Structures are given as C-alpha cells and as structure tokens.
C-alpha cells in the first residue's frame, strides 16, 4: 500500500507533481491552499475528490508524506507549522521542491520527521505542460538517508531521472539552473527588443529568433558549449564586435555594458575551445576593455 500524500501549496509545481503521484496510485488525503476555489480547481486537475480541498492546515493529519510546494522563503515557517500540527501523531516525511534550500531547512530539534528535498530541473510556466515534461526530467534529491528511497520512488512515479547532490552545494546548483533557464529568457527578450529597435515587428521578431535559438540548442547538446559556439567572437571578427558595441552605445549604456560582460564570458569560452589564436584573442580583449565612462 502506497503512503498517503498531502499537498500544501497547490500551485503549478505542486499540482503537476501530485497529479503524477495520484495517477501512480498514491492516495491524496488533502490539498491545502489559501483560496478554496483555487484549491478545488487543483483537486480537479490532480484528479482527487473535491473533499480533499481544504484551507485548514490541520487536515494534513491523515497524511504520511507531506509535499510542501511553496516559495523558498515560506518553506521554513510552513514546515514549522506543519510539525506543530503533527506533534501528537506518528512520524512523517516532509518533502520540499526548492532548488536552493537543503532539506535540513525544515528540521526542528525535537522532531522525528524525515526530511527530503526534490527539485525537478524544469521550468514550471504552466501546470499542464510541466506535468507532461516531467517525464524524463532530471530530479535532484537531497536529504535524510532514510528518505532517499522514497524520493527515488516518487521520481520514478513522475517518469523522471533521479540524481543526488550535497546539500551544501545546492545554492551553486540552483544558480547554474537559473543562468541556463531564467537568464536565457532574459537574453531572448533583450534580443527581441533590439530587433524591434531595428524596425522589425514585435511578433515577427520572436518568429525570426526561434529557429536560431533551436538550432543553437541542438548544436550545444550535440557538440558541447566549446565546439557548439558560433558567431563573431569565436571567428575573431573584431570589426563586427566593435560595430555591435557602437550600435548598442547609441541605445543605452546598460545595453552596451551588458554586451561587454557577455562578450567577455564568450571570449573566455572561445579561448577554451582552441579555435581562437592568441593574437585574435588579444585584439578582442583590447576592444572589450574600452568601457565607456558613466555619465556625470
């Protein structure tokens, strides 16, 4: 018999994960949220009965596994409240889904609660798409040794692939994930804005960039970052880089400065690739070192 699960925080992450667990045969005893209508909607998405919906944290009492799907800053206080509610009950396993915090953030000195963190390496922009994309998704596990087998079973129920990480390294791991995902979106948005500045329609700008981005991703996954890198820096087109900087300087100092910072990182990658000769690298370093002064 699979353990009873309660979800605290029926947002996109919690709903998509709990739906997988429910379909895999884990009984859902409660779905706890602040808004009853949204919580009822979450139950409908998960597939569990409407009677599971609650705005009362005390309704977790029947659960053996409690899923905390809350923003990073809310995990500790929410875990404290849950353990206070469960002081008179049997021991439980609590799982949070933060990529930043270790499982230990939920620990209370006198509690027998088993703790686990499970972080799917996936952008949760929409609960339905996230539900579908969890299949084959890498999921990082970290926490009490006794909780890891359950974590592996849950990841298997999601259709994902589990791997473990040292809790002290989670912040660095999460930083890498944010650079790869969040900053990519920022760069894409910035590129769209520059195309609009070049008098290209906003909708058309996105359509123009999408095939380029997809082809670039294919190159990186096939050849790796060093050999998948293309463009003027790895080709040592010093004049092209200079022209880019001149055009961006006309738009704003922030755009100019952002390009410089990214170009320096790209130059470092180009040098690692072995495809840039020393003289060309020196010329590019010289171009990138001439940063404009802040206006007085």
In the chain, where the domains are located = 5-165, 172-289
Tens-digit pLDDT profile for residues 167-178: 999 999 999 999
Residue found under tokens 């880019």: 244
The 10s digit of each residue's pLDDT in 211-237 is 999 999 999 999 999 999 999 999 999
Please give the structure tokens belonging to residue 85.
């509610």
Confidence of residue 61 (pLDDT cuts 50, 70, 90): confident
Q: Cα–Cα distance between 241 and 235 in angstroms, integer?
A: 11
Torsion sign, CA atoms 247, 249, 253, 259:
positive
Distances in whole angstroms, Cα of residue 93 to Cα of each of 25, 68, 146, 171, 176: 18, 11, 10, 23, 28
For the chain, helix (H) and strand (E) counts, in that order, are 10, 8
pLDDT, the chain, mean: 94
Query: Mean pLDDT over residues 60-76, rounded?
Result: 95
What's residue 86's pLDDT? Answer: 66
Averaged pLDDT, 6-34: 98
pLDDT at 29: 97
| CA 228 to centroid of chain Cα atoms | 23
pLDDT surpassing 50 at residue 122: yes
Q: Running DSSP on this structure, what letter comes out for residue 293? A: P
Nearest-angstrom CA–CA distance, 135 and 168 = 27
Report, in this order, helix, strand and coil percent for the chain, each rounded to 5: 60, 10, 30
* Mean pLDDT on 27-48: 98
Q: What is the pLDDT of residue 91?
A: 77
pLDDT value of residue 291: 61
Residue 290 has pLDDT above 90, yes or no: no
Third-level CATH fold of 5-165: Rossmann fold (3.40.50)
How much of the chain exceeds pLDDT 90, in percent?
A: 90
In the prediction, which pLDDT does 296 show? Answer: 45
Report CA-CA distances (Å) from 60 to 209, 238, 277, 280.
47, 63, 63, 64
Query: Whole-model pTM?
Result: 0.89
Calculate Rg over the CA atoms of the chain.
24
For 172-289, the fitting CATH number among 1.20.1630.10, 3.30.110.40, 1.10.1040.20, 1.10.260.40 is 1.10.1040.20
């Amino acid at each position: 018999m699979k353990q009873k699960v309660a979800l605290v925080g029926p947002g996109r992450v919690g709903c998509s994960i709990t739906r997988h667990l429910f379909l895999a045969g884990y009984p859902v005893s409660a779905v706890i949220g602040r808004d009853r209508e949204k919580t009822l909607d979450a139950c409908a998405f998960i597939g569990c009965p409407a009677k599971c919906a609650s705005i009362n944290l005390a309704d977790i009492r029947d659960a053996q596994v409690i899923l905390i799907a809350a923003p990073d800053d809310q995990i500790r206080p929410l875990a404290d409240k849950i353990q206070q509610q469960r002081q008179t009950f049997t021991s439980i396993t609590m799982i949070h889904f933060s990529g930043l915090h270790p499982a230990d953030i939920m620990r209370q000195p006198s509690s027998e609660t088993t703790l686990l963190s499970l972080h799917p390496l996936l952008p949760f922009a929409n609960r339905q798409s996230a539900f579908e994309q969890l299949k084959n998704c890498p999921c990082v596990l970290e926490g009490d040794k006794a909780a890891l087998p359950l974590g592996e079973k849950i990841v298997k129920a999601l259709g994902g692939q589990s791997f473990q990480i040292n809790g002290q390294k989670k912040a660095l791991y999460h930083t890498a994930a944010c650079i790869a995902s969040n900053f990519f979106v920022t760069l894409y948005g910035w590129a769209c804005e520059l195309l609009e500045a070049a008098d290209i329609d906003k909708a058309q700008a996105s359509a123009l960039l999408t095939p380029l981005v997809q082809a670039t991703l294919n190159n990186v996954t096939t050849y790796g970052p060093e050999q998948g890198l293309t463009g003027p820096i790895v080709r040592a087109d010093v004049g092209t880089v200079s022209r880019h900087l001149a055009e961006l300087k006309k738009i704003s100092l922030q755009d100019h400065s952002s390009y410089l910072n990214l170009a320096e990182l790209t130059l470092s990658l180009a040098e690692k690739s072995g495809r840039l000769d020393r003289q060309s690298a020196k010329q590019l370093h010289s171009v990138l070192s001439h940063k404009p002064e802040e206006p007085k």
